[in-house]
Every structure is written in C-alpha cells, then in structure tokens.
C-alpha cells in the first residue's frame, strides 16, 4: 500500500512540473503571426496574442490529461490480466520422507571391489540420499587405486591402525577375524560418530547387489524406526539357493531371529548400544548371542538382494562351494516403497504367520520326497530336537548349523523354504517355548 501511494505522488508531481514548463515555453516563444497594431489601453477586447496563448495552453492541458488517463487505464488493465499470485507458504521437505542412508563398504585387499561398487553406483537412485563410503583396511595399494578411480562418486576413508591385534596364543590363526572386528568398530564409529548419520547400510567388498537393493532398504527403514522388536534388516536369505525360494514371489519378506548380515541396515541407536561392548573378534556370531539380540528380530527377503562372489577370505571359502555360490540374486525390481509392509510388525506377523504354519498339514519327509500331494498347498515337517532338525535340514538342502540355538532364517524356530515346488515349514511343535542356546 505504501509503495502505491509513493508512486501516485511522484506521478502527480511530475505531471505538474511538466505543465509549468509547458506554460513557460508557450509564454516565451516568439509570435507566429505579425504583431497587431497598438490597441488603446481602455479597449474592451483581449489582446490576440494573449488569447492565442490561453487557447494553446488549454489545448495542451487537455492533451496531457488524456495521456494521463490512458496511462492509468493501461496500468489497470495490465494488473487485471496478470494478477499477483497469492502468497503460499511452502512447507520444508520432510527429512523422514527422503532420509539419507549411507552405504558403508568395508574393503581390504580385494581389487574386485570394483564389481561391488559398479553395481551399487548403477542401481542407487540418488547420490545425495545414498552416499557411498568405502572404508579400507590392510593398506593394499592395488585396492586403494581401484577405489580412488571412482573419484568423487565415493568417499574413501582408511582405517589408520594396521598393526597386528594382540590375540590369545590359541587364536593366532584367527588374527584375520580380530582385524575385521577392529575395522568394523572403527568404520561404524566414523559413520555414526564422525559423520553423524542416523542409519547405515553395511556391505562388504565381495557382495553384488540386486536392482531393488535400495528400494528394499528405503521401504523397511520406517519399520526399524517404529518397531522396537526389530533391530536390523538384511538383504540376505541364508537358505536362498535356487530351488529353495519362490522366485515368482520376490516381494515376500519375513521376520527372522537369526542375524543374517551380508548387506544389512542398522540405526544409530543400535550402534550406541553395541559400540561399548563390541567384541575383539567374530563380531557376527557375537551379534547372534542372546545377550545382544535380546529377543529382537531382523527383516529378511524370500529372494536375496545380495550375493557373494568372495570365495577368498579369512574363512578360506567355508560354506562358499557348498551353499553361498548358489544363492539366487533377485533380478527384477519390486516397488517395496509402494507396498504396505505393516504385516511385518510383531503382533500382526505372529498372528498370520504362526496360524499359517500350524494350520498346514504335517507330513513325513518320505512323503515330501516322493512328491505326494504336490501342488496341494503348504505342508509342515516337524522336528523335536537338535538332531532331528539337522537331519531334516540336510535332507531339504538347508544350512543345518545353529547359532545360540537359532536356525538360519528361522523365526520362533520355524524355517520357511520351497521344496519340490511347494511351501514347506520346518517347524518345532506348536508348544515351542524358546531357543536352547546349547544347540550348536
């Protein structure tokens, strides 16, 4: 309003100044006609020159008034054609809607880390939302050169302590596991303490990721934040071999009491809990102990979103030739962020999953192997102790080892697989009361 008043006053002043100058000009200009003869002073007629000046001034004022009216009309029409847009307050973007989740890649002396990084960079939907941090241990020059070749596409950090870790004499051959645990602690500390991220995806340098790897983790992050009975989400299915999973149902997700690792998501709050007691070695098996798990579960997929190509390592290929190299990597994109995943919350999940397991008819292994009743729906194989579990797991082609009594990919003791084209639940009796840590 103040701006409009100022403009109106300025316009009026300009208009008056212009007319004053015009009158002065008209008064001072020479006559354009011969001077009339002298008229006596007492004449009743106005001088012709004065009359002409008055007429010219009146004409000019009329013209200026018309121009001013035209300017005002034009300005009014222009304001009507281009109305000022209403002032809309745009809310700031919600950081929870598009959270930043860094991918921490732990590397050592594998120059094949290129295979891992190439797929991560190929499939990530946003460099801003999914920054890649490669933490390198070992000081291996060739691997460092490969990481450096990505330039600003990745952040390259180096574990500074390359010395041997003091170990008990009986653990000298396990020096590598002590180094790995030290590296994990340092790298996770950098992510959560130094860089101050609130969540992170952890990947090792011998993993290849699926096309919907980032979509999966973006979708399950709100579950971890909202359900205190979950403490991680993993891209890995320990029993995800070809033939043991339903590739047509790649959207299926499960809760599991077994910590899978091999591409997993954790929150900063969990690291604050684990860091003070982080173990000197064998960190993954330590995570599977009851004292750390504390009754919590992880989310895992039917079809793995990672696969490992790292036969070489401190484990000397343990399980690789027999199981790991056969893991089926998902090859189609599942839009998890557009799906309702609330069924994975504990109460709702147990309501339908336990009912599904124990409503399935119990059959014997021999019936399943013969294919009797094939395509007639899910069935249940029941085990009653550690030994019977191992026998049935081996017969189905599953990994039969247990960690603190928990079977791989199991939930409440139940392992869900596909066998001969049908869903099979390897399950304890319905009156199951909990895991027995002595089972190993």
The residues that are catalytic are: 284
User: What secondary structure letter does DSSP report for 133?
Assistant: E
In this structure, are residues 314 and 180 in contact, taking their beta carbons and an 8 Å threshold?
yes
In this structure, are residues 205 and 112 in contact, taking their beta carbons and an 8 Å threshold?
yes
Q: What span, in angstroms and rounded, lies between the C-alpha atoms of 195 and 187?
A: 11
Q: Which positions ≥6 away from 368 have C-beta within 8 Å?
A: 379, 381, 419, 420, 424
Element (H, E) at 369: helix 365-370
Q: What span, in angstroms and rounded, lies between the C-alpha atoms of 404 and 155?
A: 37
Q: What span, in angstroms and rounded, lies between the C-alpha atoms of 226 and 375?
A: 38
How buried is 138 (Cβ within 10 angstroms: 0-12 exposed, 13-18 middle, 19+ buried)?
Answer: middle
Kindly write down the DSSP assignment for every residue of 134-188, as one continuous string: EEE-TT-HHHHHHHHTTGGGSEEEE-S--SPPP--GGGGGGHHHHHHHHHHHHHH
């Amino acid at each position: 309003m103040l701006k409009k008043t100022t403009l109106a006053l300025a316009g009026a002043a300009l208009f008056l100044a212009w007319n004053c100058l015009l009158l002065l000009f008209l008064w001072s200009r020479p006559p354009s006609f011969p001077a009339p003869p002298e008229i006596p002073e007492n004449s009743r007629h106005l001088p012709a020159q004065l009359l002409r000046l008055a007429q010219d001034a009146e004409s000019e004022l009329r013209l200026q008034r018309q121009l001013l009216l035209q300017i005002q009309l034009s300005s009014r029409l222009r304001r009507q054609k281009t109305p000022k847009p209403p002032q809309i307050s745009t809310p700031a973007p919600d950081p929870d809607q598009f959270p930043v989740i860094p991918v921490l890649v732990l590397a050592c002396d594998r120059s094949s880390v290129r295979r891992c990084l190439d797929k991560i960079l190929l499939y990530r939907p946003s460099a801003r939302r999914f920054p890649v941090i490669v933490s390198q241990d070992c000081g291996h020059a060739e691997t460092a050169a490969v990481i450096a070749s990505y330039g600003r596409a990745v952040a390259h950090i180096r574990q500074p302590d390359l010395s041997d870790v003091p170990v008990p004499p009986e653990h000298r051959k396990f020096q590598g596991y002590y180094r790995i645990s030290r590296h994990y602690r340092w790298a996770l500390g950098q992510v959560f303490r130094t860089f101050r991220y609130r969540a992170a995806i952890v990947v090792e340098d011998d993993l290849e990721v699926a096309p919907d790897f980032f979509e999966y983790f973006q979708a399950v992050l709100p579950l971890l934040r909202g359900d205190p009975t979950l403490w991680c989400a993993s891209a890995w299915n320990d029993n995800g071999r070809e033939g043991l999973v339903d590739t047509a149902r790649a959207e299926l997700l499960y809760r599991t009491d077994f910590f899978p690792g091999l591409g997993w998501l954790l929150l900063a709050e969990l690291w604050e809990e684990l860091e003070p007691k982080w173990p000197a070695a064998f960190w993954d098996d330590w995570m599977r102990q009851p004292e750390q798990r504390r009754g919590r579960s992880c989310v895992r997929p039917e079809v793995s979103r990672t696969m490992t190509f790292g036969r070489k390592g401190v484990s000397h290929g343990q399980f690789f030739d027999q199981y790991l190299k056969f893991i089926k990597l998902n090859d189609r994109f599942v839009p998890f962020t557009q799906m309702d995943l609330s069924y994975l919350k504990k109460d709702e999940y147990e309501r339908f999953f336990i009912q599904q397991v124990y409503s399935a008819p119990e059959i014997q292994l021999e019936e399943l192997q013969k294919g009797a009743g094939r395509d007639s729906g899910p069935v249940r194989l029941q085990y009653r102790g550690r030994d019977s579990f191992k026998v049935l797991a081996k017969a189905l082609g599953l990994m039969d080892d247990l960690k603190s009594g928990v079977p791989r990919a199991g939930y409440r003791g139940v392992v869900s697989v596909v066998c001969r084209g049908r869903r099979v639940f390897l399950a304890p009796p319905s009156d199951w009361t909990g895991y027995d840590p002595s089972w190993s």
